[in-house]
């Protein structure tokens, strides 16, 4: 019934009569003629109502913003000087022959092109907000990503198998969303944090290649880039090794970028061991667009008078690093002060710095509050190792490794993304993917006094590291890998353990005793007994990937109906109170006392 989308009408239709459906985006009356910018999901086109066509003109006079209309009219060239090159339809206009109001609209609470709406307004009136061209583009791009992923994986023989949403609660990792069972009184389902165990069982069942684009749930305290429910591109394959698995999935991401963004990503992606990423960038997801690196100086600073350096240099688990900032002498004292404040957020107690004015002058050429407490040999080695040039500034971090990595890592990114960074070539625009590999198997949880799984407890140790599980867990590396893009972890996965005895060793290292392991993961351990194949996989965060691709400010801008940071839907008012009858059927009651206490 419609000739094409409104936003698609163009020179090709010149002289044709077209029928379009859409919304009144804007109306202008000019010289006795009415102009309507008509809108649909493909864009805008200009409709002209001439008073000679009395019937159509009379209806056009009633049109207001957001009225829904059907238009039939003749496509003609716009008069010279009125061509709009921003629009696909910018060279033409449609002389209306017939118009029908399909539905009127009350006056919207805001203009669709208002760029300064609060998030609350946008989420409360989400249906109107979704009419905005940016939101239309974001969700359309999200769709294109998902369908291209499906096409790519289909070609390679991956099949989409649905795993349950009502699953078993395993109080490990993040908090579960629970669902009380009516039929089984006193028992609860959990919404899945990921289909991890199910996809492994599908491999054991012989499906060979699995994928699913599916919702996962974590009841965490929400941050800017978190939602209670999020979407994962979840993949698993059998009989491939780590390199082969990574090759498939970097090809997938390259395919998506090529088709959807018309961008060719690096081929192959660079690969960096976790230890190197931490050494050079203080981060396991370095933004490689930023052309700055750490220089390790712990060995150099052991015996300097500057206590902050020498103490950190001498303490195991601490480190001293320099961050060389080319051109940094331009930074003012107040710039440095604000950076000092910034690293404080990450626990750094200060921010030492040296401006390298003129190396040839020796100490004289260095401007800094700390130089006097660093002896010549150390200064020399520091300059040599950082490769400092005249005009550079060196920032320093000296503290427990975690504080240094977090603080100087964040500083590195901040400087790179700053106006100064852009002007001084410290930032290279574009897409910088990489694989971070060779993650440690375990992290030590100081509070609990035990190791926890760095990835998850089903991750395979690297070849040759199996014995370390018992003898020196801290040194055991895993076959885990993260795909990092412009400083975001967009995907993560691993080769899994497929032998029951290795799985048991890992549980032992994690101090999960046999009874507990059986209770929580018995069905997986059972499955591993029956000739489980070697297998591994990866999961991509679709929301995050699309946020990155669209350049959206928040993942809420790539989700049709997101929750707020208070985990509420402002459109439908979920969550909400429910009938006592419903609770009774579910064998639960509210904790009244506590609720009352909350209200005080």
Residue 234 CA neighbour count, 13 Å, CB half: 22
Q: If we measure between CA atoms, which residue out of 53, 49, 47 comes closest to residue 22?
A: 47
Is residue 392 a known part of a binding site? no
How many angstroms separate the CA atoms of 74 and 563, rounded?
44
**Least distance between its own copies and beta carbon 255 (Å):** 16
543 is in an annotated binding site: yes
Largest CA distance in the chain: 93
202 among the known binding-site residues? no
Tokens found for residue 258: 């090529």
Q: How far is the CB of 163 from its own copies (least distance, A)?
A: 6
Beta carbons of 441 and 478 less than 8 angstroms apart: yes
Q: Which is nearer to its own copies, 470 or 590 (CB)?
A: 590
Tell me if 496 is assigned to a ligand binding site. yes
| Shorter beta-carbon distance to its own copies: residue 99 or 393 | 99
Residues contacting residue 422 through CB under 8 Å, at least 6 positions apart: none
Residue 566 known to bind ligand: no
Least separation in angstroms between CB 97 and its own copies: 18
Q: Burial level of 500, CB count in 10 A (0-12/13-18/19+)?
A: middle
Annotated binding residue 229: no
CB 314 to its own copies: min, Å: 42
222 among the known binding-site residues?
no
CA–CA dist 45, 3 (Å, integer): 13
Say if residues 51 and 69 touch (Cβ distance below 8 Å): no
Instruction: Please state, as a whole number, how many other Cβ atoms lie within 10 Å of the Cβ of residue 77.
Output: 13
Compare residues 204 and 512 and give the one whose CB is closer to its own copies: 204
Burial 12-31 (b: 16+ CB within 10 A, else e): ebeeeebebbbbbbebeeee
Q: Cβ 10 to its own copies, closest distance in Å? A: 17
Is 209 part of any known ligand binding site?
Answer: no
What is the smallest separation between the CB atom of 211 and its own copies, expressed in angstroms? 10
Closer to its own copies by Cβ: residue 13 or 520: 520
Distance CA 571, CA 124 (A): 5
Structural tokens at position 534: 């070697």
Beta strands 92-103; 43-49: pairing state: parallel
Q: Which is nearer to its own copies, 245 or 510 (CB)?
A: 245
22 belongs to an annotated ligand binding site: no
For residue 69, give Cα distances in angstroms to 20, 37, 65, 132. Answer: 8, 12, 11, 18
Q: List CB contacts of 527: < 8 A, sequence separation 6 or more.
A: 200, 201, 204
CB of 566 to its own copies, least distance (A): 6
Complex with its own copies: residue 225 or 335, whichever CB lies closer = 225
- Residue 172, annotated ligand binder? yes
Please say which residue, 167 or 310, places its beta carbon nearer to its own copies.
167
Residue 331 is labelled as binding a ligand? no
Cβ–Cβ < 8 Å for 552, 132: no
- In the complex, the smallest distance separating the C-beta of residue 157 from its own copies, rounded to whole angstroms, is 8
Of the pair 151, 363, the CB lying nearest its own copies is at 151
Binding-site annotation, residues for L-aspartate = 172, 218, 455, 496
Binding-site annotation, residues for ATP = 218-220, 227, 489, 541-544
């Amino acid at each position: 019934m419609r000739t094409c989308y409104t936003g698609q009408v163009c020179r090709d239709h010149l002289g044709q009569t077209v029928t379009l459906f859409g919304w009144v985006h804007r109306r202008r009356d000019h010289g006795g003629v009415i102009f309507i910018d008509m809108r649909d999901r493909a864009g805008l086109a200009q409709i002209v109502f001439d008073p000679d066509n009395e019937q159509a003109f009379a209806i056009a006079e009633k049109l207001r913003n957001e009225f829904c209309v059907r238009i039939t009219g003749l496509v003609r060239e716009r008069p010279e000087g009125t061509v709009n090159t921003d629009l696909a339809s910018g060279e033409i206009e449609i002389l209306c022959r017939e118009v029908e109001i399909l539905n009127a609209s009350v006056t919207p609470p805001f203009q669709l092109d208002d760029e300064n709406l609060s998030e609350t307004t946008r989420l409360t009136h989400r249906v109107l907000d979704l009419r905005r061209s940016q939101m239309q583009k974001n969700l359309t791009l999200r769709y294109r990503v998902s369908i291209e992923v499906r096409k790519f994986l289909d070609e390679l023989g991956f099949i989409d198998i649905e795993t349950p949403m009502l699953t078993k609660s395993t109080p490990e990792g993040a908090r579960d969303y629970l669902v009380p069972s009516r039929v089984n009184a006193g028992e609860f389902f959990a919404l899945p944090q990921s289909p991890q165990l199910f996809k492994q069982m599908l491999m054991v069942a012989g499906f060979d290649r699995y994928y699913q684009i599916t919702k996962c749930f974590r009841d965490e305290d929400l941050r800017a880039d978190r939602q209670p429910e999020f979407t994962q591109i979840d993949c698993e394959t059998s009989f491939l090794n780590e390199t082969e698995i990574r090759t498939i999935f970097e090809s997938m991401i390259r395919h998506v970028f090529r088709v959807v963004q018309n961008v060719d990503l690096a081929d192959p992606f660079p690969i960096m061991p976790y230890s190197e990423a931490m050494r050079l960038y203080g981060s396991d997801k370095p933004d490689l667009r930023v052309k700055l690196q750490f220089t390790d100086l712990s060995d150099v600073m052991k015996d300097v008078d500057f206590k902050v350096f020498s103490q950190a240099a001498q303490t195991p688990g601490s480190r001293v690093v320099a961050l060389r900032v080319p051109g940094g002498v331009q930074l003012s004292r107040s710039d440095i002060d604000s950076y000092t404040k910034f690293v404080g957020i990450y626990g750094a107690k200060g921010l030492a710095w040296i401006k390298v004015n003129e190396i040839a002058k020796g100490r004289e050429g260095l401007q800094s509050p700390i130089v006097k407490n660093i002896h010549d040999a150390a200064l020399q080695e520091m300059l040599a190792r950082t490769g400092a040039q005249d005009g550079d500034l060196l920032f320093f971090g000296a503290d427990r490794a975690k504080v240094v990595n977090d603080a100087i890592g964040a500083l590195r990114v901040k400087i790179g993304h700053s106006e100064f960074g852009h002007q001084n070539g410290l930032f290279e625009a574009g897409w910088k993917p990489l694989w971070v590999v060779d993650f440690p198997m375990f992290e030590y949880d100081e509070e609990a006094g035990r190791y926890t799984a760095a990835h998850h407890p089903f991750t395979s140790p690297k070849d040759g590291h199996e014995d370390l599980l018992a003898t020196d867990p801290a040194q055991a590396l895993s076959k885990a890998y993260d795909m990092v893009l412009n400083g975001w972890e967009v995907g993560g996965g691993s080769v899994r353990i497929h032998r029951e005895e290795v799985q048991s060793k890992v549980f032992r290292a994690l101090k999960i005793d046999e009874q507990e392991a059986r209770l929580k993961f018995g069905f997986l351990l059972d499955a591993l007994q029956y000739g489980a194949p070697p297998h591994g996989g990866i999961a991509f965060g679709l929301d995050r990937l699309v946020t990155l691709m669209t350049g959206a400010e928040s993942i809420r801008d790539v989700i049709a109906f997101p929750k707020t940071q208070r985990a509420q839907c402002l459109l439908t008012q979920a969550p909400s109170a429910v009938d006592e009858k419903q609770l009774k059927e579910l064998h639960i009651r509210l904790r009244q006392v506590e609720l009352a206490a909350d209200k005080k």
